[in-house]
Chain A
Amino acid sequence: MTDWVWLVPLLPLAGYVFLLLSGRRTPEAVAAGVSVVLTGISCVLSLVVFFQLGPEPAGGQTWLFHWLTIGSAHVDVGISLTHLNALMLVVVSLVSVLVLLFSQGYMHGDERFSVFYQYLNLFVFSMLGLVISPNLLQLYIFWEMVGLCSYLLVGFWYFKPEAALAAKKSFIVTRIGDTGLFVGMILLFLGTGGSFDFTAIFQAVSAHTLHLGWMGSQGLTTLAALLVFLGAVGKSAQFPLHVWLPDAMEGPTPVSALIHAATMVAAGVYLVARMFPLFQASPPALTTVAWIGGVTALLAALIALTQRDIKRVIAYSTISQLGYMMLALGIGAYALGVFHLFTHAFFKALLFLAAGSVIHAVDTQDLFQMGGLGRKLPITRWSFLAGALALAGIFPFSGFWSKDDILTAAWQRGDMALYWLGLVAAFCTAFYIFRVYFLVFTGQSRDEERTVGAHEGSWVMTVPLVILAALATLAGFVNTPWTGHGLERYLEHDATASAAAATPVQESLPLMVFSVVVGLLGIGLAYLLYGRKSDAPARLAEKLSIPYAISLHKFYLDEVYYHTVVVGGKLVARLVRALDRYLIDGIIEVGARLVGVLGLALKYTQNGQVQAYGVIAAFGLVVVIVVAVLGVGGVL
């Protein structure tokens, strides 16, 4: 019944090709219309696939085509449909179609409007291709393709130096992680005796046959899992490779919503989920995933407390939320990590699009130039509020269900340190997102000039906001105790997830109430500081000057990296240049001066006559023959 699933990624590809061929002057309505319709069909098809997919054999349905023979190993490409993949298809295509619609309003009038849609279509295709890859190699290919699209779209306004820098930085930082994934993929290929297939890898892992000449099964499993995770750390902007994502906010805001919040950055989480049997086979790797996730969740939340740029606050929030997902996977709560990915995609896309709507209206990203916009942008305000409540984890918004389940799971598994990391981060989350809400939408304008003419965008911008607001509010109900943990049971059909779901989380009312209270406290504090006109924030910043500076300067990580990795790398490069110029080439140059006679002799032969050169060449050949026959032969 789902044989036509290949259409899902192919339709956006058709959109890409269409816009590539139709050129830069394609009318805006055509570029946007074609893209929305094609991806819309993809979205409908994804939903059909999602609901039609019944219990499947291990590894899901696959369709394969031969691609290349490497040595004696056959490498295939194709499609693999598991329940996790079907869920991802829905998330990606649904958010994509809304963002494509929103962009028509947001990007209206841009000189390269159709190029923007062209890149977006390529992204949607690559992202959809990524989540239905049957093997690690194909996943890696699309993994890099979405990275390319991110690069192109972050640098879309290429003439802005900050955008150019951010695009480069995002590519290079994620490339560090990708190199880990690349090496991990190669080790898994060699360890399985020549296969990139997920099923073959999982079989080798479970049968303990994964090995190389220089490393046994357990060691290789852990090493490969950690290398694969390095890729996920880069893509999902986890500590210590998270530094690219806030800078990537230089791209147009719809891009931030789609790529840098809902889909591409979640690919790292998806990768760990997709390769979960590999991680499960290695407790050290799982522990690493959990701790990286937990630390990232808190670190990013602390940074988000003080940022002035609305998009950067939400970007750090994304990093933090992805940390929760990693934490969930790391403690073995596979389905909960995926559940949070699902809800987060909607409420974070919503927050970004709402922020985009605000930026579109006031043309600034500085929170302290906004204020009182709630009356002028009512739809944006209420939808942002829904997203903020979901992010803050307030009952019954979607984020409450997924985040609370993760914290409960950590508690019930006895990972108390991780629980408290998550809980403190949750408090910060509620605070920083309502700080944004109060600064933007309530009180008085801080910059009348900018805010006076603010108004809502056209329906293409407000309709996606309303739909996403509904999803952000309601999406959590797919997996509640009242709805029979529907999502968890759906995912259990996959062989990869069934083992993980062996010990399901038991919702506990006290824990739920506790985390909602923590969230409300965060909101309350934000109200006290920013909900009314007061100089409390400034006084607080002064009183806590050192923690404030650390948060404001993002724990100085960019500076640390610059002065170690970048400066160190450049130092090596300069050393190489000096070595090249003065030692290697220097010796040759001096040597050549010493035997300059040859050069001098040849110099006099340059009389510009082709025939003369021909004679020289012929002479060279004669020398060859003579030397060959008489001279050198005798040596042996």
Chain B
Amino acid sequence: MGLSLWLPGAPVIAALVTLFLPTRAAGLSRLVAGFGFAASLVLAVLAWASYPGAGYAHMNSFSWFTLPNVWLGHNLTIGLSFGVDGLSLPLVTLTAVIALLAVVGVPTPAGGARVYHFWQSLLVAAILGVLTALDLFTFLVALELALFAGFFLIQQFGGPRRRHAAFKFLLYRGFATIGVLVAFVGLAYGLAGLYYQGATVASTPKLPSSVGSLTFSLPTLQQDIGHAAAVFSGARPALFLVLLLAVFIEEAFVPFHTWLPQAHEQADTATNMLMGGMMTKIGAYILLRFGVGMLPDQVHRFSLLLAVFGVINILYGAFAAWVADGWRRLIAFSSISHMGLVLLGISAMNAAGLQGAMFMMVSSGLLTALLFFVSGAMEARTGTSQMGQLGGLSKPMPMLSGFLLFAALGSLGLPLTSGFISELQAFLGAFAGHPYLSLVGALGLVLSATYLLYAIQKTTFGPAVSPAAALTDARPVEYLPLVVLTALVLVVGVYPAVIGGLFGLSAHTLLGIGG
């Protein structure tokens, strides 16, 4: 038995415990949620430390029930299975870190601590579930859970227009889930069809796995579908495009993005950290795991499409962030711009590009969480996140202003932060694949400096706008998220090999070279 089950399992238990807590013990449910995330973090570190270096590890599998004779004589076993590999380990760890920091550093919003931490725990569990799922069913369950948990967090604990934002969130991401579902079922049935063909038509090439049955198992599908490019050609583009549509919605890529800025504008700070930090990386994870991992020929085939959309998102996100009135909207579009670079990196289908995309997921996660945390802390004090109403905050809050500047500098890709090494690798890959498009995308470097420093100048520089006496700098408990996130951004930036080894290996594995 591996420990992967308990990565999402610990916060699920925490969620269940909160249900049985007395309503009035508000602090207790926060504590329980915190313990759940801490347990996940400890397990993630253990899993990382004992990771054998290749393939899936720490696996758990449970079968629940078997549907007999579902299709062409195949049975289908429904169950849950979990495991981690080089791609998911850093992302899992990052999720647990951000979750723990969010629950420790951000006060519980008004409106029911018990309910809030119930859904918060489930959201974290769901994201961890998505990242550890080794089975299509498990993956979908987790994705679905993330959808609902996110919905309720926004809908109940958000700002004045929370209901509108929450429904948009639900409808968009719900649609994405359906896309993922269709693509998954297509993959599974497609492979089952191949097995059937293999059993009846002698000339069919042998597939590496010997399962030979309708299966939802991720490792099996990965192995066999990857090898079946020649025979299973007809449905592959359709499946890939459906999957891609889902990825675009999940990632909030233009033109399927409007749910994200609105959700971020309404959600509370901790939810924003989770949503911006990890939830918006799920789409890229799907693209890597199922697109590059199972349908690499299709990624090659639609490489130009991906690159074009990557560049569009880099620039669109940057321009939209430039005219954003408030920090929340700015961070949302900045995240879209980052993820556009992830798409551009993946489109190149080379090791540097994939590695850069993975780095960018981690980096964007850290920096988005830090940006939301600092701007949220400032908003809690000043009552607004609108740049036009802020100014001169360096005077009353030098520390928070300093961390905001740091997060902005990381976000614009300053060397020795995680942002730079991610951008560098993604562009190294991208220029090898699509030089001219990458050149256009490189404009994003100038634009990100423009919109971030513009916002910084408006917020922290200049004469103080609001009466400074009432504003206090960071409280001791707030230093934990500030310092930890900053340290992680620096560690990845100064010594990128800490995650470079695992990601390099995963990139090679996904591309089918070496590993």
Question: Residues of A at under 8 Å CB distance from B?
Answer: 66-73, 137, 140-142, 144-145, 148, 155, 158-161, 163-165, 167-168, 171-172, 175-176, 178-179, 182-183, 186-187, 189-190, 212, 214, 569-570, 572-574, 576-577, 580, 584-585, 588, 592, 598-599, 602, 606, 610, 613, 616-617, 620-621, 624-625, 627-629, 632-633, 636
Can you name 29 A-B residue pairings with CB atoms under 8 Å?
A69-B504, A70-B504, A72-B351, A144-B414, A158-B460, A158-B461, A159-B462, A171-B449, A172-B446, A182-B427, A182-B445, A186-B428, A187-B431, A190-B432, A570-B323, A576-B323, A577-B323, A584-B255, A592-B168, A610-B19, A610-B115, A624-B140, A624-B181, A625-B78, A628-B137, A628-B181, A632-B186, A633-B71, A636-B193
Among A140, A179, A189, A620, contact of B442 (Cβ-Cβ < 8 Å): A179
User: Are B181 and A632 in contact, with the CB atoms below 8 A?
Assistant: yes
Q: Which chain B residue has the least Cβ–Cβ distance from A632? A: B185
A584 neighbours in B (Cβ, 8 Å): 254-255, 257-258
Interface stretch among B47-55, B272-280, B373-381, B450-458? B450-458
Q: How far is the CB of A624 from chain B (nearest CB, A)?
A: 6
For B184, list chain A residues within 8 Å (CB): 628
Q: Is the CB of A148 within 8 A of B409?
A: yes
Q: Are A633 and B453 closer than 8 Å at their CB atoms? A: no
**Min CB distance, A481 to chain B, in Å?**
43
Name the A residues within 8 Å of B42 (CB-CB): none
Q: Which residues of A contact B425 (CB under 8 A)?
A: 70
In the complex, the answer to whether A68 meets B255 with C-beta atoms within 8 Å is no
Q: What is the distance, in angstroms, from B135's C-beta to the closest C-beta of chain A?
A: 12
| CB-defined contacts of A72 to chain B, threshold 8 Å | 351
B327 interfacial contact with A, CB 8 Å: no
Alpha-carbon distance between A161 and B495 when the two chains are bound, in angstroms: 37
Contact B186 A576 (CB under 8 A): no
B428 contacts A70, C-beta separation under 8 Å? yes
By the criterion CB–CB under 8 Å, are B118 and A610 in contact?
yes
Binds A, one of B196-204, B263-271, B303-311, B314-322: B314-322
- Contact (A576, B320) CB under 8 Å given A69-B497, A569-B450, A585-B258: yes
Given contacts A68-B421, A592-B171, contact A573 B442 (CB under 8 A): no
> Is B141 an interface residue when CB atoms closer than 8 A count as contact?
yes
Please state if B144 and A632 are interface contacts (CB–CB under 8 Å): no
Taken together as a complex, chains A and B put the C-alpha atoms of A186 and B168 apart, in Å, by: 40
Chain A nearest CB: distance from B144 CB in Å?
A: 5
B155 interfacial contact with A, CB 8 Å: yes
Q: Which of B389-444 contact A (CB under 8 A)?
A: 392, 394-395, 409, 414-416, 420-421, 424-425, 427-429, 431-432, 435, 439, 442-443
CA distance A610 to B113 in the complex (A): 12
**How many residues of chain B get a CB closer than 8 Å to chain A's CBs?**
85
Give residues in B with beta carbon < 8 Å to A.
19, 67, 70-71, 76, 78, 114-115, 118, 137, 140-141, 144-145, 147-148, 152, 155, 167-168, 170-171, 181-182, 184-186, 189-190, 193, 235, 254-255, 257-258, 316, 319-320, 322-323, 350-352, 355, 392, 394-395, 409, 414-416, 420-421, 424-425, 427-429, 431-432, 435, 439, 442-443, 445-447, 449-450, 453-454, 456-457, 460-464, 495-497, 500-501, 504, 507
Q: Is the CB of B446 within 8 A of A179?
A: yes
| Interchain CA distance A636-B72 in the complex, whole Å | 12
A572 in contact with B319 (CB, 8 Å):
yes
**Contacting A617 at CB < 8 Å: which of B19, B148, B182, B461?**
B148
Compute how far the CA of A620 lies from the CA of B178 in the bound complex, rounded to whole angstroms.
Answer: 11
Contact A68 B145 (CB under 8 A): no
- The majority secondary structure among interface residues of chain A is helix
When the two chains form their complex, are residues B461 and A164 in contact, meaning their CB atoms are under 8 A apart?
Answer: yes
A629 to B76 CA separation, bound complex (whole angstroms): 9
CA distance A578 to B258 in the complex (A): 13
Q: Is the CB of A172 within 8 A of B453?
A: yes
Known: A71-B428, A588-B258, A621-B141. 18 other contacts (CB 8 A): A71-B355, A141-B415, A142-B415, A144-B414, A158-B461, A161-B462, A171-B453, A172-B446, A172-B453, A179-B446, A182-B427, A186-B424, A186-B427, A577-B323, A602-B167, A606-B155, A620-B147, A620-B148
Q: What residues on A are CB-neighbors of B462 within 8 Å?
A: 158-161, 164
B453 and A168 form a contact (CB under 8 A): yes
Q: For B392, what are the chain A residues with a Cβ–Cβ distance below 8 Å?
A: 158-159
Greatest chain B CB density within 10 A among A67, A592, A610 is at A610
Chain A contacts for B496, CB-based, 8 A: 67-68
Q: Which residue of A lies closest to B436 (CB)?
A: A214
Distance of A508 Cα from B190 Cα, bound (Å)? 84
Structural contact, B446 and A168, CB atoms closer than 8 A: no
Closest B residue, CB atoms, query A596: B167
Specify which of A71, A141, A163, A598 is in contact with B429 (CB 8 Å cutoff): A71
Using known A-B contacts A172-B450, A629-B76, determine if residue A573 contacts B322 with beta carbons closer than 8 Å: yes
Query: When A172-B446, A636-B186 are in contact, do A189 and B428 touch as well, CB less than 8 Å?
Result: yes
- By a CB distance below 8 angstroms, the chain A residues around B140 are 624, 628
The distance in angstroms between the C-alpha atoms of A187 and B497, with both chains bound, is: 23
Residues in chain B near residue A163, CB distance under 8 A = 461
B191 to chain A, nearest CB (A): 11
- The answer to whether A67 and B322 touch (CB under 8 A), given A168-B453, A628-B181, is no
What is the bound-complex CA distance between A171 and B413, given in angstroms? 13
Cα distance A631–B390 in the bound complex, in angstroms: 54
Residues of B within 8 A of A70 (CB): 351-352, 355, 424-425, 428, 500, 504
Task: Tell me the complex Cα distance, A30–B209, Å.
Answer: 70
Are A613 and B431 within 8 A (Cβ)?
no
Task: Give A592 to B118 CA distance when docked, in angstroms.
Answer: 29
- In the complex, which residues of chain B have a beta carbon less than 8 angstroms from the beta carbon of A142? 415
Cα-based distance from A167 to B147 in the complex (angstroms):
43
Please name the residue on chain B nearest to A174 by beta carbon.
B449
Contact B144–A620 (Cβ < 8 Å): yes
> Which B residues touch A187, using CB under 8 A?
431
A186 to B167, CA, bound (A): 44
A569 to B323, CA, bound (A): 10
User: A140 is contacted by which of B170, B415, B464 (Cβ under 8 Å)?
Assistant: B415
A71-B350, A159-B392, A171-B453 are known contacts. Are A144 and B415 too (CB-CB below 8 A)? yes
Given contacts A68-B421, A144-B414, A179-B442, contact A569 B322 (CB under 8 A): yes
Closest beta carbon of chain A to B351's beta carbon, Å = 4
Check if B461 sits within 8 Å of A155, measured CB to CB.
yes
Question: Complex formed: what's the CA distance from A616 to B76 in Å?
Answer: 25
Cβ-defined partner of A165 (8 Å) among B78, B257, B442, B457:
B457
